[in-house]
Structure formats: structure tokens, C-alpha cells
Structure 1
Amino acid sequence: MKTKYKLQLPNQYNLLFLFIALLLSSCVPTTRITGTWKNPDAASKNYNKIVVAALTDNIRARETVESHMQAQFRARGVEVARSIDLFPPTASSKGGPDIDLLIDKMKVQNYDAIMTIALIDEQTETRYVPGTYGYAPITRFGWYGRFRGYYSYWYPTLYDPGYYTEEKIYFLETNLYDEDTENLVWSAQSQSYSPASLRNASEKLAEITVSRLAQDGLIR
């Protein structure tokens, strides 16, 4: 009878693999929710028709964020309108659409909630990336005796010096307001760490926000 053996790596290799995985993951841009709040006094209901409004004068950012939120809501069967469609930007408009006009339009079109997305803070973090050695080994003791061997032994040991890098951290707040009462029913604080692009950060923010809303029972 043949005995089957299971290949097992030594513990130090497992630890090294874990360390490398953690190191690589720490360098990847991330967007995550850091905290949520749900109004305990709000009526228990699912919202089926929502207006999303990114609170920024940057037209491109407003359109991008609202579009990604709209796509995530629609994937769950929620009807959504972008504020940029209800009130297209003009050269003279500053600070977003008039709040009274927005609420009136929501009532007329039977929207039951409005979601706002705002950048509330931005920080720059300086991080030191340490230098590394690269080593190309040769046969043991192969360099003893002659300069050529010694030089050839040590030269492949290369050093890549360390350096400083700046990372951007963005703090965002997403609020959901009931249209009838205008009360805040749900709020989430999010953090986007060194996003590769506005699009990447916006897509991830929409995904995790809508998922949490469903988890908290506010949408289907």
C-alpha cells in the first residue's frame, strides 16, 4: 500500500507568505466604510425611489459619483434619479440646485428619499518605503582566493535605496434623508486611501454604500 504524503511548507515560509500578502495589500488603494448610523426613531420602510446628489461644484465628479450610485441602486431594483439630470449645471449656478426647487420636484415625481454624498476632509500622509537588497547567490565559498571571484560574489548584491511617498486620504459622508419628514434616517462615513482615480474610488464607494443600505434594511 502506498502512503500518501501532504506537502507542508515550514512555518517560516507560511509567515513570510503572510507578511508579503499584508505588505502588498497595504499598498493597494482602498475605499471602505468606517462607520454607519441609523435613526432609531425613523419609521421602518424600504425606499424604492431615490434622488442621489453629490455635493460638489466639480461637474465631472458630480456626474461620475451620481452615475455609479445610480447603477448600483438600479441593480437592486431601486428607481434612481441623478440630481444633475433634474437640475443640469449652468454657468451661473453655484452651490448646487435650489433646495426648495429640489424638494418640490421630488414631491411632484413621488421620490421618497434623497441621498447626499460629500467630501468632508482630505489629508496627506507621508510614508517611508524602506530600501531593499537583491541577492544573486553563487556556489558556496566560490569567491575565496582571487579578486575576480570576490568581486563577482558581492557585485550581484544590489541595494535599492528607500524613499518617501505621499498618500492622499479622503473622508466622505453619505446621508439618506426621508422625503416626507426631511429627517436624516441613515448616515455612513467612508475613507478612500490613495485612490488610483476618481472612477475607481466612486465605483467602490457606490458598491459598498448600496450594499450596506440593503444590509441595514433601507432598500430591497
Structure 2
Amino acid sequence: MQKMRITLLVATLGCFLIACGGSRFQMTPTHMEEVAAGKPISNTLIIVVVDDQEIRSIFENHFKKWLAAKGVEAIISIEVLPVQKGTQLEKSAIAEVIDRYENDSVLITHLVGFDEAEVFSRGEPEVYRTYYGFYRYSWGYSRWPVIISENVQFTLETCLYDTKSESLLWAGESQLTNPETTGKAIGKVVEAVMKELEKNELLPKTS
């Protein structure tokens, strides 16, 4: 398996800034496997790691709709990998779904941190080497925050993996400050991820 390369890009060159009143959103790509550029995915499994199953459903379905519009077939984990609150998915269960639906990729999103002055600290590079290693790392951050106050900031991370090699293709970090609602926060994250995947030609070209 090709050695994974995590490259932190200069934020001013690789981020989206969306301002609306007191809210702010920033998307920063943190990794792109050069050999994968121009090789679009066609069938992906979406896994949002959050213990709130309603949030999980909304998030995954939002990704699914965007991917469908881009010509990518998508399977959402909440429909094929149901879990009880506090229960972690086993690798064998994920692998069985990948085999059954012939997924060529896995898209995983999780909440990294939530605080009024959150300092984002990336995990060790080893946790990114395989999709299940990243999923297990993500499980430690599965609590979704309740947006009830101002001056709050939380960070999410999204990674796209190839299922055959289990290697990382793309990764990005989304940072939200004072999001108005959970729904708007999810919408901004998904839209920004799709734009990055499209920019790197990881999505099929549409006429």
C-alpha cells in the first residue's frame, strides 16, 4: 500500500469562508493523494460517526443526495449498519456491506472537537492508514453538540478511502463558528466537501 502522506495546506490557499451574521464556516483540505486525482469514485459507503441517530440520518442522507446529483451511487450506513447508541461498528460488518454493495470507496465524517476555544489537534498519522483505523479513532468523538449559545466553535473531519487498498484518498477539516442550526451546519459541511471532491476530480464530470 502506498505510503500515506498527510499534508497540511496553507489555509489561505485552500479554504472556503462563508459569513452570515455572526456565524462563520471554514473548509480546509488536509490531504489529497495525487495518484487518485482524476479517478472519480462511483459507489461509496457513507458513515457519519455520531451517537445521535437522527443527526446521523440527516447527515448521511444529505451526503447521499449530493452524491446522487453528481452521478455517484451512495449507500448510507444508518440503513445497512444499524447500531444501538454507544455501540461501535465491527470491521467485519463494514467489510460485508462493502462486498455486498460493491462499494469502491468509504466516506467517513466525525466531530473532532467542540468548545468555546477549541484547539484542533490531529491524531497520529497511523490512525489514517485504513478506513477502519480512522473509524475507530473517530468513535472517541461521537457526541454531537447542542447549539444553545453564542461564541462556540466546533470542528469536523471528513476522509475518503479506497476500499481495495483501504488507503486514504482525500481528507478535509470543517470548522464552524456560531452555526445558526444543526441543519445549516450539516448543509455547509456537505456542500464544501462535495466542492473539494469535485475540484480534485474525485466525482464524475457532469454535463
Rg bigger for which structure? 1
C-alpha separation in 2, matches of 1:43 and 1:34:
17
Give the whole-Å Cα distance in 1 for the aligned partners of 2:49 and 2:20: 30
Aligned amino acid, residue 78 of structure 2: I
How far 1:123 moved relative to its partner? 2.1
Deviates more, 1:100-109 or 1:77-86: 100-109
Out of 174, 182, 189, which is 1:190 matched to?
A: 174
- Residue by residue, what CA displacement relative to the aligned partner does 1:40-98 show, whole Å, maximum 9, x if unpaired? 3547521010111111111122111111111111111111111001112336x612x22
Structure 1 residue 32: Cα displacement = 2.5
Q: What's the offset of the Cα at 1:208?
A: 1.1
User: What residue number does 1:119 align with?
Assistant: 111
When normalised by structure 2's length, the TM-score is 0.69
Aligned to 1:69: 63
Q: Distance in 1 between matches of 2:150 and 2:189?
A: 22
Find the residue that maps to 1:167 and give its secondary structure.
Answer: coil
1:205 aligned counterpart, secondary structure: helix
Partner of 2:82: 88
Asked if 1:110 corresponds to 2:102, the answer is: yes
Aligned length: 155
Alignment partner of 1:58 out of 40, 52, 68: 52
CA 1:26–1:65 in structure 2 vs 1: closer, same or farther (change >3 Å)? Answer: closer
**Unaligned 5+ runs, structure 1:** 1-24, 126-164
Whole-angstrom CA distance in 2 between matches of 1:166 and 1:193: 9
Q: Distance in 1 between matches of 2:38 and 2:199?
A: 13
**For 1:133-157, what per-residue CA distance to the aligned partner results, in whole angstroms no more than 9, with x for missing partners?**
xxxxxxxxxxxxxxxxxxxxxxxxx
Distance in 1 (alpha carbons) for counterparts of 2:154 and 2:58: 16
Aligned partner letter, 1:99: K
Instruction: Say if 1:26 and 1:79 are closer, same or farther in 2 by CA, change over 3 A.
Output: closer
Shift of 1:194: 1.0
Cα separation, 2, equivalents of 1:82 and 1:192: 24
C-alpha distance in 1 between matches for 2:152 and 2:45: 29
Unaligned runs of 5+ in 2: 1-18, 118-148
What percent identity do the matched residue pairs reach?
Answer: 23
Alignment of 1:2-13 (within 5 A): none
Q: Deviations over 1:187-220 (max 9, x none)?
A: 0011111111111100111111111101111111
Structure 1 runs of 4+ off > 6 angstroms? Answer: none
Counterpart of 2:67, as a letter, is: F
TM normalised by structure 1 equals 0.65
Alignment counterpart, residue 99 of structure 1, candidates 87, 91, 94? 91
Residue 184 (structure 2) aligned to one of 197, 200, 203: 200
RMSD: 1.9
Q: Distance in 2 between matches of 1:123 and 1:117?
A: 18
Give the one of 175, 179, 199 matched to 2:163.
Answer: 179
Do 2:37 and 2:201's aligned partners in 1 also have CA atoms closer than 8 Å?
no
Residue 30 of structure 1 corresponds to: 24
SS at match of 2:83: coil
Q: Distance in 1 between matches of 2:186 and 2:170?
A: 19
